[in-house]
Amino acid sequence: MVQSVRQEEPQYVCVVPVETVTGHQDEEIMTFGVSVDEAISKAEQLLTETYGCNRDAIYKLMKQAQVEPLSQWCSPSHNQG
């Protein structure tokens, strides 16, 4: 799943460590949304569809997740100067 930054909308990133699912050290997924809830929802969907996680596994992984606003330097309008 590939997502792109949308101009003129607030953006949030949800980073979820999936090392316990994949066995690969420091592996994580990142999803984006216009709200915290959207970023989290997309992460949960990705965990279900891509990794086959059940509700309990998703709950445990999401407890470790970090959700933050994207930094201004990532904004497409910042690079137009």
In tens, the pLDDT along 62-73 reads 999 999 998 654
pLDDT of 81 reads 46
| Helices (runs of H) and strands (runs of E) counted in the chain | 3, 3
pLDDT of 56 reads 97
pLDDT of 2 reads 58
What's the rounded Cα separation, in Å, for the pair 45 and 53? 9
Segment 5-64, tens digit of pLDDT: 666 676 999 999 999 999 999 999 999 999 999 999 999 999 999 999 999 999 999 999
- What's the Cα-to-Cα distance from 58 to each of 26, 46, 64, 71, 81, rounded to whole Å? 17, 10, 10, 26, 41
pTM, entire model? 0.77
